[in-house]
Amino acid sequence: MTALATDTRTSVDLDALYAASNIGEILEQLDRELVGLVPVKARIREIAALLLIDQARRQLGLATDPPSLHMSFTGNPGTGKTTVARRMAGILHRLGYIRRDHVVSVTRDDLVGQYIGHTAPKTKEALKKAMGGVLFIDEAYYLYRPENERDYGQEAIEILLQVMEDHRDDLVVILAGYKDRLDTFFSSNPGMGSRIAHHVDFPDFRSDELFDIAESMTGSMHYRLSGGAAAALREYIERRMEQPRFANARSIRNALDRARLRQANRLFARGGVLDADMLQTIEEADIRASRVFTQ
């Protein structure tokens, strides 16, 4: 007799199920941590809703295959892909789809060996560490290098494909990187593309969003921007966005680290007695000393 026939319950309290899962806490945390990224947050909520409804169906004995959970996160550097992967692991764990709230981040170098017989042990070791949680593969397309006949990336891909299928109830794989390159990777490796159920695209931040991120970063480090520094930083962001190798929030963090370095040297050169306000304040000169304003 099927589970549906033996289960006497006919309804489930979705609000109670949601509250018991505590995933609302993680979704609120995402909203607090990440400025902008509205389509990303909406997509994560959609995936969370799918999983919650799947849980409700299971409670009523409605037979269903576990949803496929492997994902791709596409976007430019510094758009929050790693942060969202960590929060996604928390959602999956709290809903019971993975055993551990655990993310193992790897790149090609962690999976692919330099000689025959080296790749399989490296790939299997990374998978072993990630089992029960999430394996996050950054710039996953570098696994595939068809122009090099002696490249061992294809061996890593084949092992990943097998594990993604055989252990999909105990491991979630997230492939990350530039959208165009991942699209090419999936076209060249249709087996991998067919296993990815959820594609989440991370847009670049706007300049005002990047300034909000900068203010949040300075606050978390117990610094503050003077009025002049805030105006200079807005101008810095506009200029930096037009330059090569801009990496969204990552570039902003690097800029603030350099501003802190200049502030420290300015105060050291000044000497004397320093109060808390002086130690916490980044001044306009600390921002405008950047090469961005002289190039």
CATH, range 3-202: 3.40.50.300
pLDDT at 2: 40
Q: Taking Cα atoms as reference points, which of 194, 170, 175 lies closest to residue 92?
A: 170
CATH architecture of 207-293: Orthogonal Bundle (1.10)
What does the alpha-carbon distance between residue 200 and residue 43 come to, in Å, rounded to a whole number? 7
Domain boundaries, the chain: 3-202, 207-293
User: Whole-angstrom Cα distance, residue 73 to residue 137?
Assistant: 10
DSSP conformation letters of 128-155: HHHTTSEEEEETGGGG--TT-TT--HHH
pTM strictly above 0.75: yes
* Tens digit of pLDDT at every position of the chain (295 positions): 344 444 557 899 999 999 999 999 999 999 888 899 999 999 999 999 999 999 999 889 887 777 889 999 999 999 999 999 999 999 999 999 999 999 999 999 999 988 888 899 999 999 999 999 999 999 999 998 877 767 788 999 999 999 999 998 899 999 999 999 999 999 999 999 999 999 999 999 999 999 999 999 999 999 999 999 999 999 999 999 999 999 999 999 999 999 999 999 999 999 999 999 999 999 999 999 999 998 7
